Amino acid sequence: MAPESTSGNNERASNSKTVTEKKETKSDKEAGITEDQYNSIQIGDNGDSKEKITSMFGSADSTSNSSIGNTSSELYIWNDVAGGGVVSNVSVSFINNLASSKSISGLKVDRKKISLADFNSIQNGQSEDDVINILGKPNSLNESSIMGTSTKILSYTSNISGDLGANFNVTISDGAVSGKSQASMS
């Protein structure tokens, strides 16, 4: 019997076939939590229960909790966002098992390059729809509802004119622009 031949990396040669299975990735298929699912989360005094949210999204990828007196606070984070980038996630904060705030980050968006002049055109009192019509969809949203006041922060982090890392936020309170801030735009 002739000795078996070996390849340069010292593996034995064989007549068997090697089958490589490709793991499906987000780019192969849209997976994860959708923006519509995110938008359906109710927050505030009548917020969705932790049980309802976890039945929609499954087990969170990370959690944290704390308690002060009779109030418990928990943060649940899911890392799989449909149409999101590598570091995209959805987080929901619960106070006494009811959703009080939510955020979605790392969204990939297709929009024109946003200049400082575009940013400056946004004025207090404009609606969220006005902002999105002028600037396009944000990369991240952070929303809360506390004691009847709703606040939403629209964060823009890609396709911004300016230095590396240029970004800006627009704050919407009870449906209207109440503030904005920017860094390194031109």
Identify the structural domains of the chain with CATH numbers, from first to last: 31-100 (3.30.1450.10), 109-186 (3.30.1450.10)
Radius of gyration over alpha carbons of the chain, in Å?
23
Cβ–Cβ under 8 Å, residues 115 and 98: no
Q: What is the pLDDT of residue 146?
A: 86
Task: Name the nearest CA neighbour of 182 among 135, 127, 143.
Answer: 135
pLDDT greater than 90 at residue 27:
no
SS3 50: helix
Cβ–Cβ under 8 Å, residues 100 and 43: yes
Q: What is the pLDDT of residue 127?
A: 98
- Pairing between β-strand 149-156 and β-strand 98-107 as defined by DSSP bridges: unpaired
pLDDT greater than 50 at residue 13:
no
Facing residues of 71 across strands? 68
Q: What is the pLDDT of residue 52?
A: 98
Dihedrals phi, psi of 159, to nearest 5 degrees:
60, 45
**Tokens 């999204």 -> residue:** 57
Dihedrals phi, psi of 176, to nearest 5 degrees:
-130, 150
78: Cβ contacts below 8 Å, ≥ 6 apart: 32, 33, 57, 58, 60, 61, 89, 90, 91
Q: What is the pLDDT of residue 147?
A: 87
- Sign of the alpha-carbon dihedral angle for 122, 125, 130, 136: positive
pLDDT greater than 90 at residue 30:
no
Minimum mean pLDDT among 13-17, 166-170, 171-175: which range? 13-17
Count CA atoms within 13 Å of residue 40 on its CB side: 9
Cβ–Cβ under 8 Å, residues 119 and 112: no
Mean pLDDT within 7-34 = 48
Cβ–Cβ under 8 Å, residues 131 and 183: no
DSSP label at residue 9: T
Mean pLDDT within 118-137 = 98
